[in-house]
Amino acid sequence: MTPGQVGTSVTGTPHIAARPGDFAPLVLMPGDPLRARRIAETFLHDARQVTDVRGILGYTGTHRGVPMSVLASGMGIPSVTIYATELFRHYGVRRIVRVGTAGAIPAAVSVRDVVIAAAAHTDSSLSRVLVDGVTLSLAPSYRLLRAAADAAGPALCGDAAVHIGPVLTSDHFYLTRPALFDALEDRGTLAVEMEAAGLYAVACAEGGEALAVLTVSDHLRTGDALTAEERESDFDRTLRIAATALLTGV
């Protein structure tokens, strides 16, 4: 499929096979398709699968009696921008909250902590190509950000610390540039991940709302990291904050 190409099928888009109305206006978006399935099975009520194109799984059910969907984004800015654009543009989605993982940068942020991304720096060209001559500031919906901050107390997070501030969305997973992380830490950057800036850019362009709520799964300085099993159990608090934010004002 070439960039910008529009699907010609009666139902679905180039990357999503769902029918009109199959997605709720509120969407949780993990990167991993298997995590999307786990959210559908354990968090949503009466969830049904609505798409599985290229193994990217999407489901719709309810949460607290309100229709809510989950769709995986895949990994990286190009992938998340495809799925977020198609959801906002073709399926009537209004809000997307990314629920993912991130690597901590400063010592004050620990493994298992929650990071709510109040801004997303990026080493991608994304922020420079959308508006000619301007480098965009990529930020979430304030309404979702405020709702997530309000929700992130002991009732949902237990003893885990919650940090609110900027993250780096990088195109490079195996990035080894200590000086870069030193400079970012000096400027208040909390963590590095791979999708938030893309999601924020799409929401801005499509008139939607977006937020990224992240579990710290590893630490760039200390090398501490969660096991695969620990990632799943510690992911739940991030999911609860994200869903609460999605439901604000609904």
Q: What is the largest CA-CA distance in the chain?
A: 52
Cα three-residue angle 228-229-231, rounded to 5 degrees: 65
Which of 52, 123, 171, 218 does the annotation list as catalytic?
218
Tokens of 34: 């298997």
As a dihedral over the C-alpha atoms of residue 207, residue 213, residue 216, residue 220, rounded to 10 degrees, the angle is 20
Cβ-Cβ contacts under 8 Å for 154 (sequence gap 6 or more): none
Q: Helices 196-206 and 77-90, interaxial angle, to 10°? A: 30
Q: What distance in Å separates the CA atoms of residue 236 and residue 250, rounded to the nearest whole number?
A: 22
Catalytic status, residue 46: no
Q: How far apart are CA 45 and CA 61, in angstroms?
A: 5
Number of Cβ atoms within 10 Å of the Cβ of 119: 17
Would you state the structure tokens that stand for residue 181, as one six-digit string?
A: 């992380």
Q: How open is the CA angle 53-59-63, to the nearest 5 degrees?
A: 165
Looking at the DSSP bridge assignments, the partners of residue 26 are 95
Which token pair is 22?
């199959």
As a whole number of angstroms, the distance between CA 133 and CA 150 comes to 37
Catalytic residues: 218
